[in-house]
Amino acid sequence: MKSYFYIIISFLVVSFSSCSSDSISEEIQEQELVVSSNKVLEQAVFDEVNNFRIEKGLSPLTISDEAYPYAMQQTQFMIRTGSLSHNAFQDRASQLSAVSKATKVAENVAKGYTTAQTVVDAWIASEGHYVNMIGDFSHTAICIGSDQDGVLYYTQIFFQK
């Protein structure tokens, strides 16, 4: 009787474990897909901003791995709070300047746009964001993340080295 009990318990443990690992595996795959989609969108925003700058006779920006963590920090903050803001921008700008020797830093943020073209068009239509896009900058980083409802949050950091 005891051996049947242990067999049943073992079967249940294995059954639940495999369901849990399948669920975890599916969740990881979904997260990887979201990250991959966001990377494609980040590249598309980068391309749209550079196309806009080139049309204006300006030099294209270079992607900066140094600035990406600061863009990601702001995007994650906006997702956590559900708000659109430049919260603690001066702190991020100072930290980036110390790391990269940046002489000038600016930031664009956005929420809710689903394509690179629509977010860039919105920035062009906003005086402050437009000024950043045409500013005397050499480098940029763009981070896009989504909340649990799939709403996209954008942070683009511009800086001059």
What is residue 17's predicted lDDT score, i.e. its pLDDT?
A: 41
pTM: 0.78
Total Cβ atoms within 10 A of residue 95: 16
Q: Report the C-alpha gap between 109 and 155 in whole angstroms.
A: 5
Residues of the chain under the 70 pLDDT cut: 1-37
Angle, alpha carbons 63-66-69 (nearest 5°): 100
What is residue 6's predicted lDDT score, i.e. its pLDDT?
A: 38
Q: Report the C-alpha gap between 45 and 74 in whole angstroms.
A: 17
Q: At residue 3, what is the residue type?
A: S
Total Cβ atoms within 10 A of residue 143: 23
Tell me the per-residue pLDDT of 49-67, one tens digit each, with 9 for 90 and over: 999 999 999 999 999 999 9
Tell me the per-residue pLDDT of 21-32, one tens digit each, with 9 for 90 and over: 454 444 433 444
What is residue 36's predicted lDDT score, i.e. its pLDDT?
A: 54
